[in-house]
Structure 1
């Protein structure tokens, strides 16, 4: 499922949360946020990036996550 680039809603029975944007002024990036998805069998995460001079968001690939809880302050996932 991860290789098909599915959003958290593509995982049956999953719950997803996103951190707020965190300043990350490094290599042309402006900020990042982490999206964490809990499925019935495992946890996954991805990183979303805002770049300097761009209004768009670069969405990273889903990877297996060592994090087994939602971070404090994490909210519903982005659309």
Structure 2
């Protein structure tokens, strides 16, 4: 999702309303338990290179730091300690 898309979606809601995040990813659920809820802590901008892990999982990851192949990313920091 791009920042402009997130802003457009958020403008539909009360600006005083709280935000929580969740994921239905199996790796974040314990034994079919409830969906894990996350609280937003911060948003920042970083330089990083985007790629996928070569461990067979293909999960996306970021290598932080400025390089010839890096781009700017907006990162949303979350916590499960809501």
TM-score (norm 1): 0.23
TM-score (norm 2): 0.22
Greater helix share, structure number = 2
Q: Which protein is bigger by CA-based radius of gyration?
A: 2
